[in-house]
A and B are shown apart, each in its own frame.
Chain A
Amino acid sequence: MELQSLIYLFVGITFAIYIGIAIWAKAGSTKEFYVAGGGVPPVANGMATAADWMSAASFISLAGIIAFKGSDGGAYLMGWTGGYVLLAMLLAPYLRKFGKFTVPDFVGDRYYSDIARTVAVVAVIFISFTYVAGQMRGVGIVFSRFLQVDVNTGVMLGMGIVFIYSVLGGMKGITYTQVAQYVVMIFAFTVPAIFLSLQVTDTFLPQAGLFAQTAFEFNDGVRSIPEGTYLMHALDQAVNDLGFNNYTEPGSVFNMFMLTIVLMAGTAGLPHVIVRFFTVPTVKDARISAGWALVFIAIMYTTIASVAAFSRVNLIANVQNVDYKQFINGELKKADGSTNDGNWFKTWEQGGLLAWNDRNGDGKIQYANGAAFDGKPAFDGKKTAEDGHRLTTNGKGAPTEAELKANNGVANEIYVDRDIMVLANPEIANLPGWVIALMAAGGLAAALSTAAGLLLVISSSISHDLFGQVIFKDKATGKSTLTEKSELRLARGAAVVAILVAGYLGINPPGFVAQVVAFAFGLAAASFFPVIILGVFDKRMNKEGAIAGMSVGLTFTFVYIVYFVFMGGAKEDYLFGIAPTGIGTIGMIIHFVVAYFVSRATPPPPQEIQDLVENIRLPSGAGQALDH
């Protein structure tokens, strides 16, 4: 079957499954809408959490980031998994015992304050929207590349699908759809990884492939690296020859330390992850569920390091010094006699994520350290050169002496967007069509599952926390005056609005989606992570301490990131040399310190709150707590 029909088939089948599940799991009550009735088995919940967690960024971008950053990319791998240890031990069991629906619920009740609740709602909405914008963009990229519709149509199709299962099914629909999406996603990621591992190292398990030897000889443009060299040696040698930093050598240990902590604490403090642990029946299930979630995440994350290394080797081996015209026409052979088909190069060039600028005029592609363009390539409309490559207007001129000297005689001529590495991998490696189709379905599953989880958190924050607990609160009884039915209707309405906003952000993305992710983690680390931990582990913590801690931590982190990322603050002015991506760690420490001193200077929380904390600490009786 032709590749395009295969892609339609795979994507079509998976979409039909998702919608089928949504109809089967339609939510009938607010409890089902917010927390799937609190009855999801721990393994299923772990799988859903993993799907929720592994976003378009994990699936599409992470291996690419590591392929180009090498050693320093480890901060993301450790941060986005190590956070689950914190979650399992410091947050999940107690929040489950607390037994309400949302994170602002906890903050508002534990700190007996609607101000604290409102601050939490605003933080939830802001963090989740920054995240969701990136997801919708991911959906758009996959659609436009694989289904050959334009990005905007792609985003709208994605919105439509998410609309059906999140508005209809709520948390219940989302959870069971995510189980299916996890299965699709993990196959889509590991199958190509196994193929790559076999191709590059003759080893079946990609995790073990990292330790294996190369299965082919390749020329990095400076020297030939023989078959049978250890993969990491081959990679270090090649990138070193081409003027890049050594792949396995770390950069700034201090900044990596700060970034790793922020990603860990941020992971444990992200509302759409935390809310997952409200959905299981008991405290014990909440603990195990975090373990299962990490197992399912680890299956993918332990492959990422290998996929990154394989793809960097493959990129160098397949594009270095190849004749452009012959390459894209599929006329080149590899050492083993198979075709080195450059069709992928052409396709991504068409999409603007790859560009070639023949600086030395030899008709061949060269890849090395340094820029081939001033910034991102600017294409000259649809114009192409005689050999078929797209013309650009900001290419750098002929290679300079210094450049050639630094890179052993090779001057860089290409621009490669990091986001294409994973999606292009199967094509670079000439894998069969069905693997590429599977990849498309997997990328969509990753983006849609995360988007749906985030949208649910946004809608429940608005309908449950803001309307139910603040605006429509009966002052005398402290209960919501909304009926169950009207709150459910409100929740669905809020989900619709959230989807429309997310879609708008996907079609008109703010130009800084990548930086915005640092924002989400920094803010979560500086707000929810400390406020929840203090709420459980420090009985003396009161509302004054919590409000002061959250406000100061959030404001500090927010201002630092805005100043250095969006207002052009100079690198030299960094506080202790900390990059904005890692500043959430300082924000978190400030939060802890401020909250401690303010709480000790003000009266202790009322007795009933202290009793509540005592109660949260003991696992027994979580079942009835939900039926308050």
Chain B
Amino acid sequence: MNAEKAQAYWKENIRTILGLLVVWFIVSLGAGVLFINQLNAIEISGVKLGFWFAQQGSIYAFVILIFVYVYKMGKIDEKYGVSE
């Protein structure tokens, strides 16, 4: 593989990771910590939303994030012919 193509692959990899990490930050450190008090104003069946993100919601989001990452990277690997 030539150097240019490797560069392009790496750039796309970084972009994918950054996008997903933004979501990662929002669902955990954002919703569950920084904005927990604001979100706690919303309540579903007795459970405050900020509290829920910190104790359950963020974990579901993490699982989804990793599988989205696996899927997206699989596509990129194929596009650049670097999958095994």
Give A contacts to B, CB under 8 Å: 66, 71, 73-75, 77-78, 81-82, 84-86, 88-90, 93, 207, 210-213, 230-233, 248-250, 253, 256-257, 260-261, 264, 282-284, 287-288, 290-291, 294-295, 298, 301-302, 304-305, 537, 614, 617-623
- The interface residues of chain A lying within 8 Å CB-to-CB of B58 are 77-78, 81-82
- The interface residues of chain B lying within 8 Å CB-to-CB of A620 are 81-84
Contact of A284 among B3, B6, B33, B77 (CB under 8 A): B77
Question: In the bound complex, what is the Cα–Cα distance between A85 and B61 (angstroms)?
Answer: 10
Which secondary structure dominates chain B's binding surface? helix
* A211 close to B84 (CB less than 8 A): no
- Could you tell me the distance in whole angstroms from the C-beta of A71 to the nearest C-beta in chain B? 6
Asked if B42 is at the interface of the complex by the 8 Å CB criterion, the answer is no
* B55 close to A74 (CB less than 8 A): yes
- The interface residues of chain B lying within 8 Å CB-to-CB of A75 are 33, 54
Once A78-B54, A301-B59 are accepted as A-B contacts, the answer to whether A253 and B84 lie under 8 Å apart by CB is: no
Question: In the bound complex, what is the Cα–Cα distance between A75 and B29 (angstroms)?
Answer: 9
- The interface residues of chain B lying within 8 Å CB-to-CB of A621 are 84
Once A71-B54, A287-B69 are accepted as A-B contacts, the answer to whether A295 and B83 lie under 8 Å apart by CB is: no
Contact of A88 among B10, B46, B60, B69 (CB under 8 A): B69
Question: In the bound complex, what is the Cα–Cα distance between A257 and B28 (angstroms)?
Answer: 10
Query: What residue of chain A has the Cβ atom nearest to residue B37's Cβ?
Result: A250
Once A295-B63, A302-B56 are accepted as A-B contacts, the answer to whether A89 and B69 lie under 8 Å apart by CB is: yes
Once A74-B54, A618-B6 are accepted as A-B contacts, the answer to whether A284 and B46 lie under 8 Å apart by CB is: no
Question: In the bound complex, what is the Cα–Cα distance between A308 and B80 (angstroms)?
Answer: 48
- The interface residues of chain A lying within 8 Å CB-to-CB of B59 are 77-78, 81, 298, 301-302
Once A212-B45, A253-B37 are accepted as A-B contacts, the answer to whether A287 and B70 lie under 8 Å apart by CB is: yes
Query: What residue of chain A has the Cβ atom nearest to residue B21's Cβ?
Result: A89
* B62 close to A257 (CB less than 8 A): no
Once A284-B84, A287-B73 are accepted as A-B contacts, the answer to whether A82 and B46 lie under 8 Å apart by CB is: no
- Could you tell me the distance in whole angstroms from the C-beta of A50 to the nearest C-beta in chain B? 12
- The interface residues of chain A lying within 8 Å CB-to-CB of B62 are 81-82, 84-85, 294, 298
Query: What residue of chain B has the Cβ atom nearest to residue A297's Cβ?
Result: B59
Once A89-B17, A248-B40, A287-B73 are accepted as A-B contacts, the answer to whether A618 and B9 lie under 8 Å apart by CB is: yes
* B66 close to A248 (CB less than 8 A): no
* B20 close to A89 (CB less than 8 A): yes
9 nearest A-B residue pairs (beta carbon): A230-B46, A74-B54, A305-B55, A211-B45, A291-B66, A232-B46, A620-B82, A248-B51, A78-B28
A-B contact pairs, 19 of them (CB 8 A): A77-B56, A78-B33, A81-B59, A88-B66, A211-B46, A232-B46, A253-B34, A253-B36, A256-B33, A283-B84, A287-B70, A291-B66, A291-B70, A294-B62, A617-B9, A617-B10, A618-B82, A619-B77, A623-B84
Which secondary structure dominates chain A's binding surface? helix
Question: In the bound complex, what is the Cα–Cα distance between A233 and B1 (angstroms)?
Answer: 61
* A85 close to B54 (CB less than 8 A): no
Question: In the bound complex, what is the Cα–Cα distance between A319 and B44 (angstroms)?
Answer: 30
Query: What residue of chain A has the Cβ atom nearest to residue B31's Cβ?
Result: A78
- The interface residues of chain A lying within 8 Å CB-to-CB of B67 are 291
Pick the most buried of B34, B56, B83: most chain A CB atoms within 10 A of its CB. B56
Question: In the bound complex, what is the Cα–Cα distance between A291 and B44 (angstroms)?
Answer: 29
* A619 close to B83 (CB less than 8 A): yes
Chain B 8-48 interface 0/1 with A at a Cβ cutoff of 8 Å (1 = within): 01100110010011001000110011101100100011111
Question: In the bound complex, what is the Cα–Cα distance between A299 and B48 (angstroms)?
Answer: 22
Contact of B66 among A84, A250, A305 (CB under 8 A): A84
Question: In the bound complex, what is the Cα–Cα distance between A624 and B48 (angstroms)?
Answer: 52
Query: What residue of chain A has the Cβ atom nearest to residue B81's Cβ?
Result: A620
Contact of A619 among B14, B21, B84 (CB under 8 A): B84
Once A77-B54, A618-B6 are accepted as A-B contacts, the answer to whether A85 and B66 lie under 8 Å apart by CB is: yes
Question: In the bound complex, what is the Cα–Cα distance between A73 and B55 (angstroms)?
Answer: 8
* B74 close to A66 (CB less than 8 A): no
- The interface residues of chain B lying within 8 Å CB-to-CB of A617 are 6, 9-10, 13
- The interface residues of chain A lying within 8 Å CB-to-CB of B50 are 250
- Could you tell me the distance in whole angstroms from the C-beta of B84 to the nearest C-beta in chain A? 5
- The interface residues of chain B lying within 8 Å CB-to-CB of A294 are 62-63, 66
- The interface residues of chain B lying within 8 Å CB-to-CB of A302 are 56, 59-60
* B36 close to A284 (CB less than 8 A): no
* B51 close to A74 (CB less than 8 A): yes
Pick the most buried of A78, A93, A284: most chain B CB atoms within 10 A of its CB. A78
Question: In the bound complex, what is the Cα–Cα distance between A249 and B45 (angstroms)?
Answer: 17
Query: What residue of chain A has the Cβ atom nearest to residue B40's Cβ?
Result: A248
Question: In the bound complex, what is the Cα–Cα distance between A291 and B5 (angstroms)?
Answer: 28
- The interface residues of chain B lying within 8 Å CB-to-CB of A89 are 17, 20-21, 66, 69
- The interface residues of chain A lying within 8 Å CB-to-CB of B70 are 88, 284, 287-288, 291
- The interface residues of chain A lying within 8 Å CB-to-CB of B83 are 284, 619-620
Question: In the bound complex, what is the Cα–Cα distance between A260 and B53 (angstroms)?
Answer: 13
Question: In the bound complex, what is the Cα–Cα distance between A284 and B58 (angstroms)?
Answer: 24
Question: In the bound complex, what is the Cα–Cα distance between A591 and B47 (angstroms)?
Answer: 39
- The interface residues of chain A lying within 8 Å CB-to-CB of B44 are 211
* B74 close to A284 (CB less than 8 A): yes
- The interface residues of chain B lying within 8 Å CB-to-CB of A287 are 66, 69-70, 73
Contact of B1 among A88, A256, A618 (CB under 8 A): A618
* B24 close to A82 (CB less than 8 A): yes
Question: In the bound complex, what is the Cα–Cα distance between A532 and B62 (angstroms)?
Answer: 22
* A78 close to B65 (CB less than 8 A): no
- The interface residues of chain A lying within 8 Å CB-to-CB of B84 are 282-284, 619-623
